[in-house]
């Protein structure tokens, strides 16, 4: 959890565990908000609101978590509960969407009307700004590339957490890389695997190349569909410099139709643990500044 100012600068941060029980989770959040608020000293009354990012579907009211597989939540009105317990306005958003809204408000791409962001973590998240607005989709699922199918071959399509088979997440995520490394008898640490690949270890190269290539093909599909000016790919720094990053870039660029004017820029950025929290904090800033949030 982070406390930021209205420019998105982090003023203080506290690491908290992920608690799946909604009641325990709210209790922890309330306690931590109190601690963060106290760090403001005399300025504590200026705390304008709370943003919350979570890996799942959020209702258009930006209060209710409709479904979150990672936490096992269904229809949890976490926003209302947190607002009631803290006395502060609360806005809830999907993690990837919070990330891109933070970028739109505070990041280097602020002002860009069309760009996309992808993050590669345990799962894979993605969100788009189109014509200056967050692309929501019919049910808020726009950008869920983690569960886009990348292989239809039943021999190769591994089962996914979502219940389907052959999703991008089963090939290109940190979860998939870790599983493949374990099966090959290698360390599941991304850093170790990247180091082994750099030393020419065949299995490490194969695992990272396959994962990065799949991510690159998914990125090319995204670019063909939306034609963004930029795609920001947030990666573990070790992956960024590894064969994963190179394969991603190569496959994405190989599968994009080259246009007559400028092409989509693919930018890598380090994925930091507090990226989501900063994105979430930008929601509170956005609503404070614009009133309606502009989303
Ligand atoms: Zn899936």
- For residues 62 and 153, which has the higher predicted lDDT (pLDDT)? 62
- Give residue 275 CA to ligand 1 midpoint distance, Å: 23
Q: Was domain 111-270 assigned CATH 1.10.3470.10?
A: no
Cβ proximity of 252 and 220 under 8 Å: yes
Q: What is the pLDDT of residues 18-33, one digit of tens each?
A: 899 999 999 999 999 9
CA–CA separation, 187 vs 204, rounded Å? 10
- Give residue 38 CA to ligand 1 midpoint distance, Å: 41
Q: Specify the pLDDT at position 294.
A: 55
Cβ proximity of 168 and 126 under 8 Å: no
- Specify the range with the lowest mean pLDDT, choosing from 30-39, 47-56, 155-164: 155-164
- Specify the range with the lowest mean pLDDT, choosing from 115-119, 184-188, 224-228, 287-291: 287-291
- Give residue 142 CA to ligand 1 midpoint distance, Å: 15
Q: Above 90 in pLDDT, residue 264?
A: no
Average pLDDT in the 44-65 region? 92
Q: Specify the pLDDT at position 261.
A: 61
Cβ neighbours for 290, distance < 8 A, ≥ 6 positions apart: none
Predicted TM-score of the model (pTM): 0.92
Residue reference for tokens 């996914």: 160
Beta bridge partners of 50: 90
Q: Specify the pLDDT at position 259.
A: 64
Q: Above 60 in pLDDT, residue 293?
A: no
Average pLDDT in the 95-109 region? 94
Backbone angles phi, psi at 17, to 5 degrees: -75, 160
CA–CA separation, 194 vs 189, rounded Å? 9
Q: What is the pLDDT of residues 147-182, one digit of tens each?
A: 999 887 878 899 998 889 999 999 999 999 999 999
Q: How confident is the model at residue 115 (pLDDT cuts 50, 70, 90)?
A: very high
Angle at 186 between CA 204 and CA 175, to 5 degrees: 80
Beta bridge partners of 115: 129, 230
* Domain boundary assignment for the chain: 2-99+274-290, 111-270
- Answer yes or no: same fold for 2-99+274-290 and 111-270: yes
Q: For CA atoms 232, 146, 90, 47, give the dihedral sign.
A: negative
Return the number of other C-beta atoms located less than 10 Å from residue 195's C-beta: 15
Backbone angles phi, psi at 226, to 5 degrees: -115, -15
- Give residue 260 CA to ligand 1 midpoint distance, Å: 36
- Give residue 167 CA to ligand 1 midpoint distance, Å: 5
Angle at 101 between CA 77 and CA 33, to 5 degrees: 50
- Give residue 269 CA to ligand 1 midpoint distance, Å: 25
Q: What is the pLDDT of residues 222-240, one digit of tens each?
A: 999 999 999 999 999 999 9
The two three-digit tokens of residue 171, written as one number: 């090939």
- For residues 70 and 119, which has the higher predicted lDDT (pLDDT)? 119
Cβ neighbours for 210, distance < 8 A, ≥ 6 positions apart: 171, 180
Q: Above 70 in pLDDT, residue 260?
A: no
Q: Return the axis-axis angle of helices 202-226 and 243-254, rounded to nearest 10°.
A: 40
Q: How confident is the model at residue 43 (pLDDT cuts 50, 70, 90)?
A: confident
- Give residue 182 CA to ligand 1 midpoint distance, Å: 20
CA–CA separation, 207 vs 185, rounded Å? 12
Q: Which CATH topology does 2-99+274-290 take?
A: Nucleotidyltransferase; domain 5 (3.30.420)
């Amino acid at each position: 959890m982070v406390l930021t100012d209205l420019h998105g600068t982090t003023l203080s941060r506290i690491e908290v565990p992920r608690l799946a029980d909604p009641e325990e989770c709210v209790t922890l959040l309330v306690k931590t908000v109190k601690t963060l608020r106290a760090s403001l000293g005399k300025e504590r009354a200026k705390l304008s609101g709370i943003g919350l990012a979570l890996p799942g579907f959020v209702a258009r009211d930006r209060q209710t978590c409709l479904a979150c597989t990672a936490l096992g939540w269904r229809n949890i009105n976490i926003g209302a509960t947190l607002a009631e317990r803290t006395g502060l306005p609360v806005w809830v958003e999907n993690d990837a969407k919070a990330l891109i809204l933070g970028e739109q408000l505070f990041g280097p791409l602020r002002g860009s009307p069309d760009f996309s962001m992808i993050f590669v973590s345990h799962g894979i998240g993605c969100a788009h700004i189109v014509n200056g607005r967050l692309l929501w989709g019919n049910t808020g699922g726009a950008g869920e590339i983690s569960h886009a199918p990348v292989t239809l071959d039943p021999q190769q399509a591994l089962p996914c957490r979502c219940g389907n088979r052959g999703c991008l997440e089963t090939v290109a995520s940190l979860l998939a890389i870790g599983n493949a490394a374990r099966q090959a008898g290698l360390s599941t640490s991304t850093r170790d695997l990247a180091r082994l690949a750099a030393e020419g270890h065949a299995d490490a190269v194969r695992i990272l190349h396959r994962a990065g290539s799949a991510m690159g093909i998914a990125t090319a599909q995204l670019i063909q569909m939306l034609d963004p000016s930029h795609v920001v790919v947030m990666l573990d720094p070790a992956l960024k410099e590894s064969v994963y990053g190179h394969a991603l870039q190569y496959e994405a660029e190989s599968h994009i139709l080259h246009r007559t004017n400028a092409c989509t820029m693919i930018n890598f950025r380090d994925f930091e643990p507090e990226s989501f929290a900063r994105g979430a904090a930008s929601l509170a800033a956005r609503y404070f500044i614009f009133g309606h949030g502009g989303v």
